[in-house]
Amino acid sequence: MKKQIVLLAAGVSSRFFPFNGAHKSMFRLCGKPIIGWTLDGIRKLKVDEVVVVVSESDGTLIEYLKEYKHLNLKIVYQKEALGMGNALLSTEDFLEENFILGFPHFVNENIFNSFLLKYNEIPSVGLLVEKTDKPWEYGILSFDRGHNPTGIVEKPAKGEEPSNDRVSGCYFLNKRFMDTLRNEPQSEYQFEAALDKFLKKEKVRVFRNGEAVMPLKYPWDLFAIKDYVLGKLPAKKTGKAEISKKSVLTGKVIIEDGARILDFAIVEGPVYIGKNSVVGAHCILREGSILEEDTQIERFVDCTRSIIEMGTHIHSGFVGDSIIGDSVRVGAGFITGNKRIDRDLVEVKVKDKKVFTGSDRIGVLIGDNVKIGINVSTMPGVIIGNDSIIGPSTIVTKNVPGKTRIYVEQEIVQKSLIQ
């Protein structure tokens, strides 16, 4: 039987703002887009074919996928962003009788392997399931007395959830399920509605592999995926990097060609330092940080648990639990607040609604090509859109849309000291 994996990589990724210029799986971590890490993992498995659903307009992703033709990879186009169900229906002409459905941010190949190991033993449909302490945020399964799944409730009201078992986003499906999906009316939750109906009439097997399936809905979900990728990479110190004898390196460090670590810098692994990046004199690059290619942290920058994308330059300051996009210019004295003063969980405003991150440490999320003046501070969970300008001595307390300039108007009072 031909073993096939389908990855859904279409849609506008609107909740991933400000990093949604391309599909969110194209966000770069440790020198490679997330979907690249996922496909590299799939390459280790016994899979005959990979089908990737993309948006017709996403040229960046389409071009990148050409690098994986050796996986027997087929690209299928979704004409409009009409949800998960519609995306899957666009693959009908390419589907085998049975197939595995997942997402391009599943960098842990063991997620797919849960089904591959039992590929010929699953009677109908298989669901990868895990426990959650926030059932109101997910699709939650209901069970009969024999603990067989009988339905799915999408985002149940608090106190009304049928269980705390959530469907993780990886599925073993077949053509019979596709018949149910095709007959379900088009809606945002077409897939979930079809799955609920299928569960009520067919025998479905539940799988639990004991490994968390990391979501990628919001930008801060990148932190868990980043930690996983960093954890899997081996230490590396290329001979084509310049590392000062006066610097201090501890823990696992991945240093690419052309990187420079200057005098009195402290690097505490695990960290990733990309090609031609600079860790300047007296900088501290702390555990869990990533500097992508051509990034510079110049002097007296304290960077911890943060992701800094390609070509960004930071003069000095503190960057904590933050994500900074491509080609950002940050002046001296930049400070990110990464914890609320009351130490409560951080909220982020997404599409005009407050979203709980579930974390008490979230810094700033800065899009591409932003320019930030000297002595700027940001409050926890603030988003700054692409191509914006933040004037000097500004405290950013709320989200800044893309292509927007904000600044403080200072009133200068001049008085003579001569009486």
DSSP state of 87: H
Percent of the chain topping pLDDT 70: 100
Mean pLDDT to the nearest integer, 132-147 = 86
**CA gyration radius, the chain:** 24
- Rounded to 5°, the CA angle 198-199-202 comes to 75
The domain 4-217 is classified under which CATH number: 3.90.550.10, 3.30.230.10, 3.30.200.20, 1.10.1040.10?
A: 3.90.550.10
CA distance linking residue 236 with residue 231, whole number of Å: 13
Mean pLDDT of the chain: 94
Please state the pTM of the whole predicted model.
0.94
Half-sphere exposure of 166 (CA within 13 A, CB side): 18
Kindly give, in sequence order, each residue whose CB lies less than 8 Å from that of residue 374, ignoring residues fewer than 6 positions away.
Answer: 315, 331, 332, 333, 392, 393
pLDDT tens per residue across span 81-127: 889 999 999 999 999 999 999 999 999 999 999 899 888 888 789 99
* Residue 255 · residue 233 · CB < 8 Å: no
Give the C-alpha separation, 80 to 53, whole Å: 12
* pLDDT tens readout for residues 72-88: 999 999 988 889 999 99
Q: What residue spans of 160-271 are helical by DSSP H? A: 175-182, 190-201, 222-232
Q: How far apart are CA 37 and CA 396, in angstroms?
A: 34
Residue % of the chain over a pLDDT of 90: 80
Q: Is the pLDDT of residue 53 over 90?
A: yes
> Which whole-number Å values give the CA distances from 73 to 34, 55, 256, 259, 293, in the listed order?
17, 16, 29, 34, 28
What residues form DSSP beta bridges with 395? 377
Instruction: Give residue for tokens 């670590």.
Output: 261
Write the CB contacts of 209 (distance below 8 Å, at least 6 apart in sequence): 110, 111, 113, 114, 128
Q: Where in the chain is CATH 3.90.550.10?
A: 4-217
Residue that has been written with the tokens 């399931």 in this structure: 129
pLDDT (0 to 100) of residue 159: 86
Residue 64's pLDDT is 96
Question: Shortest CA distance to 216 belongs to which of 204, 234, 228?
Answer: 228
Q: CA-to-CA distance for 334 and 316, rounded, in angstroms?
A: 6
| H or E, element range at 102 | strand 98-102
Q: For the packed helices 190-201 and 175-182, what is the interaxial angle rounded to 10 degrees? A: 120
Phi, psi angle pair for 38, to nearest 5°: -65, -45
- Of 107, 203, 206, nearest in space to 166 by CA: 206
Query: From start to end of 242-364, where are the E strands?
Result: 242-243, 248-250, 253-255, 260-261, 266-268, 271-273, 278-279, 284-285, 289-291, 296-297, 301-304, 307-308, 313-314, 317-320, 323-324, 329-330, 334-336, 347-350, 353-356
Tokens representing 146 are 């024999």
| 3-state helix vs strand vs coil in the chain, percent to 5 | 20, 30, 50
**pLDDT (0 to 100) of residue 212:** 77
CATH homologous superfamily of 224-406: Hexapeptide repeat proteins (2.160.10.10)
For 177-233, the pLDDT digits (tens) are 999 999 999 988 899 999 999 999 888 889 887 787 899 999 999 999 999 999 999
Domain ranges in the chain with CATH number 2.160.10.10: 224-406
